[in-house]
Amino acid sequence: AVCAEAYDPDDDADDNTEPQVVHPKTDEQRRRLQDACKDILLFKTLEKDQFSEVLDAMFEVLVKPQDHIIDQGDDGDNFYVIDKGVYDIFVAKDGASVCVGKYNNKGSFGELALMYNTPRAATIVATDEGTLWGLDRATFHRLIVKNNAKKRRMYEAFIECVPLLNCLELSERMKIVDVLGVRTFNDGDRIIAQGDKADCFYIVESGEVKILIRTKTKAGQQDNTEVEVARCSRGQYFGELALVTNKSRAASVYAVGATKCLVIDIQAFERLLGPCMDIMKRNISQYEDQLVALFGSSDDLKH
């Protein structure tokens, strides 16, 4: 009898017999690869063995200016991690190709077509000479997609009780789980530094963070020390402001005790959190009111 069973990647018996891909690398390549991969969110929830299998399978790709690494609409072949170079992201809109963002010497792309078996969702073009690390589709499936089933089991319940994400459909919340990374911090670790460029967004899973601000209206003055303005604990988010306003980080954020955060990169934030934008903007307008109350001006949150 034929039965319609849900696909569970964990049941995939032939996975164990699939040959392991190994691209030999020099020590120098290995060092660069490790450096490029250390902050890749999709790798952050892998077990150590799985992560080293991923590294073994990756291969170097040299690119020239104007090379199309990915074309929107194509089938997915590889996932890419950036070693170096600047890459523009184009999306077709009403027949025209619109640049919607860029990767600047770090990050990764090409996961969506491989994760969901869909055509490429964007075109990625190198603006300079650059270097990428590719990971073939089969290995991506065997290690990353399989790990996603585990991630969904681990984070589904927690994500369901993050108030900000209530406005999303269940399937949209699960897409966030698929691409998120996890980072742990020790007491006092600085998670965000005021003034830095922003490339990700955080949700506190456990522990607590404190938010400190050094106001620009007192720049250079003696009493311009960092002032604590807020704390966030389980289920609360931070690091959205710079992504929403396209500015540098408005405050510094430190771990209070051992703290674990879920991390979402800026591209996934823009792609998946659009429906939550109104809530975030409403909360941002409250930052301005509190700034006025504290420092007598909200200039810090302006240009």
Interface contacts to ligand 1OR, rule CB under 6 A: 70, 76, 89, 91, 100-101, 109-113, 120-122, 124, 192, 198, 211, 213, 229-230, 238-242, 249-251, 253, 267, 270-271, 287, 290-291, 294
Q: Which residue has the tokens 């073994």?
A: 56
- Nearest approach, Cβ of residue 75 and ligand 1OR (Å): 10
- Nearest approach, Cβ of residue 282 and ligand 1OR (Å): 13
Considering beta carbons, is residue 146 or 216 the nearer one to ligand 1OR?
216
Query: How far apart, in whole angstroms, are the C-alpha atoms of residue 84 and residue 79?
Result: 15
Secondary structure of the chain: what % helix, strand, coil (to 5)? 40, 30, 30
Considering beta carbons, is residue 57 or 272 the nearer one to ligand 1OR?
272
Query: How far apart, in whole angstroms, are the C-alpha atoms of residue 62 and residue 64?
Result: 7
Considering beta carbons, is residue 46 or 114 the nearer one to ligand 1OR?
114
How far are the Cα atoms of 166, 179, 200, 270 from residue 275, in angstroms, in the given order? 10, 17, 17, 10
- Nearest approach, Cβ of residue 209 and ligand 1OR (Å): 9
Considering beta carbons, is residue 159 or 209 the nearer one to ligand 1OR?
209
How far are the Cα atoms of 133, 140, 148, 239 from residue 78, in angstroms, in the given order? 10, 8, 17, 30
Parallel, antiparallel or unpaired: strands 237-238 and 130-136:
unpaired
- Tell me the one-letter amino acid at 99: C
- Nearest approach, Cβ of residue 99 and ligand 1OR (Å): 10
- Nearest approach, Cβ of residue 212 and ligand 1OR (Å): 9
User: How many CB atoms are closer than 10 A to CB 47?
Assistant: 11
Considering beta carbons, is residue 57 or 192 the nearer one to ligand 1OR?
192
- Nearest approach, Cβ of residue 3 and ligand 1OR (Å): 32
Residue 63: which H helix or E strand, with range?
A: strand 59-63
Query: How far apart, in whole angstroms, are the C-alpha atoms of residue 179 and residue 177?
Result: 6
Considering beta carbons, is residue 46 or 82 the nearer one to ligand 1OR?
82
